[in-house]
Structure 1
């Protein structure tokens, strides 16, 4: 689980500092001292915690557009071949 060293920074299982908690700590500690640093930390923290709604990558948007176009111009089925045996008389 999470580890905490003496400085109060939380570490993840892989040994790296937890970026969300570290940015939150920077935000709180520097709110009065360095507002620009606190604002930058808040902005980056917001990117981690709140994602844009409907945020899709270029490839998925391209794929969705291709599916729409493919549905508009679908290939019609081939004509049915019907054998008419009534005209042929045995004889």
Structure 2
């Protein structure tokens, strides 16, 4: 993907939130290396306490020209039980449920 995610209009970026605040630095390294201009970027995180943490701020900074949509943060211990929450979120943001 040397020119970025050109095949997609919407890109979901999934990661844990570490140190109560941030996605791992590899996520910023990844997004800074690609061109997300004109794309919709949606953060998805697993968390312990901090929700999305700084993911929205980090991706806004590292994806210039992208539109940041409402993300989703799921408590790590509850991922296996989060299907209803995920389906509701997908409908709310206008993505097709599975």
Larger Rg: 1
Higher helix proportion, which one? Answer: 1
Higher strand proportion, which one? Answer: 2
**In which range does the TM-score fall when normalised by the shorter chain?**
under 0.3
Structure 2 length normalisation: TM-score?
0.24
Tell which has more relative contact order, 1 or 2 (C-alpha 8 A, sep 6+): 2
